[in-house]
Amino acid sequence: MIREEQKMQDITPDSLIRSVQAMKDGGKRLVQIGCARIGDIFEINYSFDKDYNFENLKLTIPSGLEVPSVSGIYTCAFVYENEIHDLYGIEITGIAIDFKGTFIRTSIKYPFGVVSSKEEDACQNKL
């Protein structure tokens, strides 16, 4: 078996649904949706697999931008999307099963989200 290199495709919120639907139509399974914060920017990666060949969609968004849910295409995405909302504070619209901020309970609201300088000062004072 020959394994191809993993593919990474940059997408926009406007092309997210169309790109994910193309993965589904191509017989690919959703492997994971992951999120990372880089300063005030968020990077959401959608990973798909078919026959051990991975393809990734990378969505880079600023804080405060809403993202459409892909749970209408892959129902299992609701788990990842609720987690991303609860940990990063990213609004994901149209989640099939929306826990409305109660999926993951933390002592700090959106612990991996963008932190204001006021919140950073408060955290430093607690140390």
pLDDT grade for 125, boundaries at 50, 70 and 90: low
Q: Can you say how many angstroms the Cα of residue 90 is from the centroid of all Cα atoms in its chain? A: 8
Q: Please name each of the domains of the chain with its CATH number.
A: 7-126 (3.30.460.80)
Enter the pTM of the model: 0.86
Question: How many Å apart are CA 86 and CA 51, to the nearest integer?
Answer: 33
Is the model more confident about 60 or about 6?
60
How long, in residues, is the chain? 127
Alpha-carbon torsion 81, 85, 90, 91, what sign? positive
Q: What is the mean pLDDT of residues 77-82?
A: 98
Is the model more confident about 78 or about 39?
78
Question: How many Å apart are CA 23 and CA 88, to the nearest integer?
Answer: 25
Return the structure tokens found at 92. 């994901």
What are the tens digits of pLDDT across the range 16-73? 999 999 999 999 999 999 999 999 899 999 999 999 999 999 999 999 999 999 999 9
- pLDDT, the chain, mean: 90
Is residue 33 a contact partner of residue 45, using CB atoms and an 8 Å limit?
A: yes
Question: How many Å apart are CA 62 and CA 83, to the nearest integer?
Answer: 18
* pLDDT tops 80 at residue 91: yes
